[in-house]
Structure 1
């Protein structure tokens, strides 16, 4: 392997942040167009903005997810947790048909999902898994 490659769930990131934007726009649009005698109460506003905040945190978690590989290591970030493995520690990387993401299996039989590669991205996800699996010793 001569270069470092990084894989990110680009499509999912775009969708997640679009959902956050739509929620914000809808909340503001509906909130400003309600009749004067019916406005969101403080508790309703807190609930709505807390929900949007939770979706934004999930979008941020997805945005940090990635899988990187170089000559010596495979590094992946699932949400906010980073793990690094030497290639000789990795036994297998695979993704079954219909699986949401690939799975990394270590030589000591620990299993980790690789959220940075999303099965919903089709051929690009399969190519990423083939490329990574081709470097397992």
Structure 2
């Protein structure tokens, strides 16, 4: 079983989450003492931050897992399991940010875990997946 995960995208997603938290605390510490946040304001900021983190984590946790049975594709919080016999093709045209898998009756699934920004690593992964299609 081979698992492909985004490279730089994961680092950026988790890095942004940390930077947002550090900046929020730095701004809070730099505010004058006469400015005080209420409990509901702090709660709102925490909920917004957690929403951002959930979105970023969804991006970072994406993967494509190839086994003898087929592909398991996790894009964010949704997982697809597709047998090799159902896959009609994988394409990554010039300029596309990630490859597209075609299966079934013209259904398409984006492979978010394989980012063009990862360069040759993604090209190699797409080539390996295309070779496995029966």
CA deviation map 1:1-59 (0-9, x unaligned): xxx11100121111011111011111111101211122445554344333321220012
1:79 to 73, 76, 79: 76
Aligned to 1:95: 92
Partner of 1:132: 129
> 1: CA distance between counterparts of 2:7 and 2:44?
29
CA shift digits 1:72-105 (9 cap, x unpaired): 2111111111111111110001111121111000
Matched, 1:121 2:87: no
Q: Give the conservation status (yes or no) of the 8 Å contact 2:14–2:60.
A: no
Among candidates 15, 22, 25, match of residue 25 of structure 1: 22
Matched position secondary structure for 2:81: strand
Distance in 2 separating the partners of 1:41 and 1:98:
48
Tell me, yes or no, if structure 1 residue 67 matches structure 2 residue 64: yes
Gaps of 5+ in 1: none
* Offset, 1:107: 3.9
Structure 2: give runs of 5+ residues left out of the alignment. none
Q: Secondary structure, in 3 states, of the residue corresponding to 2:95?
A: coil
Give the match for residue 107 of structure 2.
110
TM-score scaled by length of structure 1? 0.88
The answer to whether the 8 Å contact 2:98/2:112 transfers is yes
Residue 45 of structure 2 is matched in structure 1 by: 48
